[in-house]
Structure 1
Amino acid sequence: MAKKTKKPRHPIGELLEPKRALIRPESVALPRPPAGRPGPKATGLTQNDMDILLKRSRKTYNRLECGKLRLPPDDYLVDVGRLLNLTADEYTMLWLLARGHRPTHPLHPPVGLVGPELWQAACDGQRHMMYVTDLAWTLLAHNSAFADMFIHGIAPANTARWMLLTEEGRTTLMDWETTWAPSLSAQLQAALAENPDSEVLQKIDADTRADPVAGPIYTSVTAPSIAPDGVVRRLRHPLYGPGAAKMVAANPYASPGARMIIVIFEPEEAAEDRRQGISASSSSR
């Protein structure tokens, strides 16, 4: 009789089964199985153990590993990731396999910036303005080019608060009422909706609503805005005068909610000189 070929596991099972095997039942307050228990001996958590620990009906976890659990709830994937001590990459892969997109909820509450000294070195090595903030716009790293954007050469502790609630911000950020303030207001509201427990975001939200200048703009925002990536806005630099600020934005993978922003600034005089140079070059041909 031909030997039966073992059916390949679903990719979710391939990902999660080895992680289960690493966790001893007693380490998660499950009783140690009797030494004489019939059947194969589990070296780690069984699928039934997972259902017990995650407080789900029997076979729920089995269906997840078999790829038969259609669109598992967000909180379930978070709980699975935390129970099995998944890495950030493993957690992202779980979401991609189970939901078809990257995580919409962090594996762990944001704890700041991973590798802050490396991000500071990256900022220091960038000739354009560069800075990194956490989910509440608290400044975590920046270079001297970014500090030069402020009147006294000192970057603010929180960039959102500076942009929305200071007179310097409203003057430096040209067209503040029509471009900068509405966009940042929408971004702040989106961040608060995603992180409702952030006391820093709550305070900025309350202070902005109460502000006689920013409040009406903040409460009347209609267009959503998540990130300023690729946006070009006018900025009055204290050293170089008015010009165009071209922004490049990204999220550090290992630091949920953090933002990395590069501001490429071109003074209006430099832009005009460049245009005239191009025009003169064209006419001489």
Structure 2
Amino acid sequence: MGLAVLLRAWRARAGHRLGLGKPLPQVEVAAEVGMSERWYRDLERGATPRLDARTLTALANALRLCADERATLFLYAAGGEPFPAVSPLDGVDLTPLRRLLDLQPTQPAYLTDNAWNVLGHNEAMAEWFPWVQIPGANLIRWALTAPEAREQLADWPRHGRAYLAMLRYAMAQYPGNPQLTELLRTALADPACRLIWDNGPVVIANRDGHTFRLRIPRFAPHSVDVVAQVLNPLGYPGLRLTFLNLLAGPDAYTSTDRRNG
């Protein structure tokens, strides 16, 4: 982890996308930013100077970064943190947010902190995913390491890639967070997760708007498609409210399942 690792990977990818057959040369990146080659070379060696917004924007453009990658670059290089790295359990009353979850009676909804610990959920979430009721339940740990997650999350490698990418982003957002470090250590002990992680430094800020298919006992033998909506309540820094909305009723998948055998 770290900015230097990301810069090297992004530069290599930029060269591939440009059809160079090799990483984009350091001298070209530096020229696009308006800095010296030595300056950029030092960045990839681990130098951590404070960079202004103009320089970071130019660097992001030179490396052809997406929105989440740009945000990660700013977090590392500018030291900015959108949310303070504090524990939401220290004297914070979560009752209003938990009541909000209960106002969603039919679709799963849950509350997590900046390390994806499950702090609250509604009845629908517990019916779909009973594991959330276990003390210490953690979304990332379940999704990456639980055998049932690989059965219930259709196309699990895509989910594994997304969750590891979010974990990478969070570690830039909250450097030194011991819970995130432990989550990564636990995940990388699994060979499948290690393979995804080593395949390249992908970063994703969140899964808001992502659609995916679930295979859960509640709807057996059919699968269901859902879309995740993620909200960050401004009065509760670092917390996430996530709502899973069915794209169609379970009966709508009967014909699809038959076509797929």
1:97-176 alignment runs, 5 A limit = 104-105=80-81, 108-112=84-88, 114-127=92-105, 128-150=107-129, 154=133, 157-176=137-156
Contact 2:208-2:229 at 8 Å conserved across structures: yes
Name the CA shift for 1:164/1:121 in 2 (closer, same or farther; >3 Å).
Answer: same
> Are positions 1:257 and 2:238 aligned together?
yes
User: SS of 1:271's equivalent?
Assistant: helix
CA RMSD of aligned residues (A): 2.7
1:197 aligned to 176, 188, 209, which one? Answer: 176
1:227-266 alignment runs, 5 A limit = 227-241=206-220, 242-266=223-247
Amino acid at match of 1:220: N
The CA distance in 2 between the partners of 1:252 and 1:115, in whole Å, is 13
Amino acid at match of 2:230: A
Amino acid at match of 1:180: H
Name the CA shift for 1:109/1:185 in 2 (closer, same or farther; >3 Å).
Answer: closer
Could you list the per-position Cα deviations for residues 12-70 of structure 1 after superposition, in whole angstroms to 9, with x for gaps in the alignment?
A: xxxxxxxxxxxxxxxxxxxxxxxxxxxxxxxxxxxxxxxxxxxxxxxxxxxxxxxxxx9
Name the CA shift for 1:175/1:268 in 2 (closer, same or farther; >3 Å).
Answer: farther
Contact 1:196-1:202 at 8 Å conserved across structures: no
Shift of 1:219: 2.7
Name the CA shift for 1:206/1:152 in 2 (closer, same or farther; >3 Å).
Answer: closer
| Stretches of structure 2 lacking an aligned partner (at least 5 in a row) | 1-51, 54-78, 257-261
Contact 2:231-2:241 at 8 Å conserved across structures: yes
How many residues align? The count is: 174
| Stretches of structure 1 lacking an aligned partner (at least 5 in a row) | 1-69, 72-102, 276-285
Shift of 1:265: 2.6
Contact 1:234-1:245 at 8 Å conserved across structures: yes
TM-score, normalised by the number of residues in structure 1: 0.55
Which residue is equivalent to 2:69? none
1:206-225 alignment runs, 5 A limit = 206-225=185-204
Q: Greater shift after overlay, 244-253 or 261-270?
A: 261-270
Could you list the per-position Cα deviations for residues 110-159 of structure 1 after superposition, in whole angstroms to 9, with x for gaps in the alignment?
A: 23164311111111111311001000000111101111122567366111
Q: Greater shift after overlay, 211-220 or 146-155?
A: 146-155
Could you list the per-position Cα deviations for residues 197-234 of structure 1 after superposition, in whole angstroms to 9, with x for gaps in the alignment?
A: 21110001111112122221123244431111111011
Contact 1:209-1:219 at 8 Å conserved across structures: no
The CA distance in 2 between the partners of 1:158 and 1:265, in whole Å, is 23
Which entry has the higher C-alpha Rg, 1 or 2?
1
User: SS of 1:188's equivalent?
Assistant: helix
Contact 1:133-1:140 at 8 Å conserved across structures: yes
Name the structure with the higher helix share. 2
The CA distance in 1 between the partners of 2:177 and 2:94, in whole Å, is 21
User: SS of 2:212's equivalent?
Assistant: strand
Amino acid at match of 1:164: L
Amino acid at match of 1:263: L
Name the CA shift for 1:207/1:249 in 2 (closer, same or farther; >3 Å).
Answer: same
The CA distance in 2 between the partners of 1:149 and 1:221, in whole Å, is 32
Name the CA shift for 1:120/1:268 in 2 (closer, same or farther; >3 Å).
Answer: closer
Q: Greater shift after overlay, 127-136 or 249-258?
A: 249-258
The CA distance in 2 between the partners of 1:239 and 1:189, in whole Å, is 32
1:175-194 alignment runs, 5 A limit = 175-177=155-157, 179-194=158-173
The CA distance in 1 between the partners of 2:139 and 2:87, in whole Å, is 18
Amino acid at match of 1:201: L
Q: Which runs of 4+ in 1 moved over 6 A?
A: none
